[in-house]
Chain A
Amino acid sequence: MVDALPLLEARGLVKVYPGVRALDGADFTLRAGEVHALMGENGAGKSTLIKALTGALAPDAGEVRLGGRVIRPRSPVEAQRLGISTVYQEVNLAPNLSLAENLLLGRQPRRLGLIDRRAVRRRAEAIMAGLGVRADVGRPLGSLPIAVQQMAAIGRALDLDARVLVLDEPTSSLDAEETARLFGAVRSLAARGMGVVFITHFIGQVYEVCARVTVMRGGRVVAVRDAGGLPRLELVALMLGVSMEEARAIERAHARAGSSAEVALRARGLRRGRVGPIDLDLRRGGALGLAGLLGSGRTETARMIAGADRHESGRVEIDGRSVPTSPPRRAIAAGVALCPEDRKAEAIVPGLSVRENIALAVQARQGWWRPIGRRAQRNLAERFVRSLRIATPGVEKPAGELSGGNQQKVVLARWLAAEPRVLLLDEPTRGIDVGAKAEIERLVGDLCARGVAVLFISSEVEEVGRVCDRVLVLRDGRAAGELSGEGVTVAAVMRLIAGEGERA
């Protein structure tokens, strides 16, 4: 086991993009027969490393060896021919072809020069059975569950006699049962001597299937460890780049909730897909932080509350009364507003002016037959341009032409103008400059002082600590714990993110 031969080896990989060293001398070793987790926050260099290994991009320096021989695949197809297969997060097969055709595309067994359909079917059934999946291989791939599609992608890799299988976030769209089936297949593949690289944001899954872990940060490998000897807290500290001393220093118990203010919004048992059930209370004049790693269910929770996505079960109560929240205009009517995470795709209307963008939500609530006059809109917009210090030559400027931070302020202004009772902010400070960030953090404080209930989502644990009086930590789609008052510290939040709290 210890002396297992390196199957795939990368030494000193460097990839430089203008302004970024995406890979900064990264080493990576994969042994035959192991499932190896590749961990790191976004931008750590995981996908660049994978792309370099699978031929999707050429590294500027360094070498890759497969079974001891130096390889330089110039495309994923070439890498596949060498024995390295990759299954991406998005299934990239042909949805209109049958499962069998997808499995054997380009390699169908032939008879007398024609494709032997019966042999195709038999072979496809054998492949899927080998993965422990029973499915009608004659059906179009697109009509089968995502889990089966994922398995088909794996099955295709398998049939190519792959020696290395790279799984890039394969479980992000699977439910618990499908994930378990996938893991079963992965384990049996490893048992047959295949080397599997597993990329995921779900820390729990690392411990479930992986023997070793490589942690990346800033384009470098910061640790290679056996999963068994790496506590969750340490793994998270490595990923986030925070010292263990800091993490260990504060071992305070969770402070009990100090605030006794009235509850403005109560969510019970919210559930959609793999997220939930989630319970949470938003108090008048309080800011609740929602923390957790990417994929822990933060965004999904906010979207369910605001009706952006319909929840499958559970309920949202406002002032003790259960209210419908989907479509979003119903949530808005009940006083709930959401600033979504993806500003460009879901918030800013680029061609409309700053004035129209700010007036949009108020106008939508009034209905189309009661227009807000142009002058009233202008006054409204100018008021927010001043109070939020939106940098724009005038309120008639198309919002799409403003900088990211100013666009974010325009979106905030849209909701402030609507005077919501509950405001959900999903990553409101991401991708904006430091000054605008501080202003937005300050604004949350002002809103709380005016009695608005705020839900604040941020990937920056420090920021959540600065802004919020309570923090709910999510992990793998569930609440992992809640902190409040004195107990809201970076270390305590991180401990919950990592899941150490459960064991203690």
Chain B
Amino acid sequence: MRDSARAAVRAIGRAAPAAAAVGLLLAFNAAFTPGFFDLAVADGRLAGSLVDVVNRGAVVALLALGMALVIATGGVDLSVGAVMAIAGATAATLVAQHGASPWAAIAGALAVGAAAGAFNGALVAGAGVQPIVATLVLMVAGRGAAQLLTGGQIVTFNDPVLNFIDGGFVAGVPMPVLIAAGALALGLALTRGTALGLFVEATGDNERAARLAGVRVRAVKAAAYVLCGVAASVAGLLAASDIRAADANNAGLYLELDAILAAVLGGTALRGGRFSLVGAVLGALFIQGLTTTLYLHDVSPNATLAVKAGAVLAVCLAVSERVRAWVGRK
């Protein structure tokens, strides 16, 4: 019994830096941002700064979920931003140019995301290409493919189902919040409800040992990239729905970096092994919360990036074992 308590503490411990960062951010806002915690229900819709943070953080949270899995296998996926663009372009062109039903468009976008993940997985697990190089291929080529789909134009659409993905509410809760929460629940069920999480961690921590123990390490890696691709395509649907258009040039641009940051803040070891999906989502919420807080305090957009970088540096130093040991000695 005490053991399981210890295991729980350990699991939470991995996500602790991200949780602490989110906590600090909330404390700051409690002190200095009037009305930050106010929740209002207008037209049967939940509104307020907190809701806004979760709502806008959903895209990075989705990416971070997939990224945490991939990083845990000892890899990294730089192509998630480009996959967002392809997924958005796929859905938009299917609806706007081919008159497809929105459901077919969604299915198409998800399938494209899975295919992109399978491509990455084949390169990394099958051909043994370095993950950074392998996913760099799609990071660059993927955006080009998205532009081919859209013919270089911004393809707009106005479809009630697609619009609902980002703009809709269910029981007063914004759809992105529900989608991110659903993805987290699904991810937890998939990794902790089955042995997939154990295999992912064993593969990332000591691949040769995992193989000798009978784990299908290639299949595990490929699965992580496929799941990451699917998560990225959902994020792409959210981004496209937000602006009711597919913008192949800008959709998801640089978001792979936010996703990696969120996963690492969330306690996933960059060299592979242990991961935390809850931590990844908390990491994403921290990043978005920081942006929103700066916005609420009228910090100029030019200075925002610098402040963000400073905050991230502080959190990373707090996570660093060497720095902790150094502080501990003082």
Chain A positions near chain B (C-beta within 8 angstroms): 306, 308, 327-329, 332-333, 338, 340, 345-353, 356, 359-361, 363-372, 374, 378, 394-396, 414
Contacts and interface: CB of A to CB of B under 8 A. Distances in A.
A374 B4 contact: yes
A378 B4 contact: yes
Most chain A CB within a 10 A radius of its CB, from B2, B209, B216: B209
B188 to A, nearest CB: 13
Interface of B: 2-4, 6-7, 10, 193-196, 198-199, 201-202, 205-206, 208-216, 220, 269, 273-274
Contact of B205 (A350, A365, A394): A350
Nearest to A372: B195
B194 A328 contact: no
21 contacts: A308-B212, A327-B216, A338-B212, A347-B212, A348-B209, A351-B201, A351-B205, A352-B202, A352-B205, A352-B273, A360-B202, A360-B215, A363-B198, A365-B214, A368-B194, A368-B199, A371-B198, A374-B4, A394-B2, A394-B6, A396-B6
Nearest to A411: B209
Given A351-B274, A352-B201, A396-B3, A346 B209 contact: yes
A57 to B, nearest CB: 30
A463 to B, nearest CB: 23
Contacts of A396: 3-4, 6-7, 10
Nearest to B7: A396
Contact of B211 (A327, A333, A359, A372): A327
Contacts of A308: 212
B212 A371 contact: no
B195 A370 contact: yes
B193 A371 contact: yes
Nearest to B6: A396
Contacts, number: 97
Contacts of B214: 328-329, 332-333, 361, 364-365
Contacts of B274: 351
Contacts of B10: 396
Contacts of B195: 363, 366-372
Nearest to A327: B211
A351 B14 CA distance: 12
B244 to A, nearest CB: 39
Given A306-B212, A364-B199, 5 more contacts: A328-B211, A345-B209, A350-B205, A350-B206, A374-B4
A353 B11 CA distance: 12
A370 B214 CA distance: 15
A306 to B, nearest CB: 8
A48 B203 CA distance: 37
Nearest to A377: B198
Contacts of B206: 345-346, 348-350
Contacts of B2: 394
A380 B315 CA distance: 39
A365 B215 CA distance: 8
Contacts of B199: 363-364, 368
Contacts of B211: 327-328
A363 B194 CA distance: 10
Contacts of A368: 194-196, 199, 220
A327 B213 CA distance: 10
Contacts of B210: 349, 360, 364
A123 to B, nearest CB: 37
A207 B227 CA distance: 60
A372 B210 CA distance: 17
B269 A345 contact: no
Contacts of A351: 201, 205, 269, 273-274
Contacts of A332: 213-214
Nearest to B203: A349
Going nearest first, the 6 A-B pairs with the smallest beta carbon separation are A364-B214, A329-B214, A351-B273, A332-B214, A371-B195, A351-B205
B245 to A, nearest CB: 39
Nearest to A345: B208
B194 to A, nearest CB: 5
Contact of B212 (A328, A356, A372, A374): A328
A426 B28 CA distance: 58
Contacts of B193: 371
A346 B206 CA distance: 7
A329 B215 contact: yes
A195 B151 CA distance: 73
A306 B214 CA distance: 11
B34 to A, nearest CB: 44
Contacts of A369: 194-195
A372 B196 CA distance: 11
Nearest to A332: B214
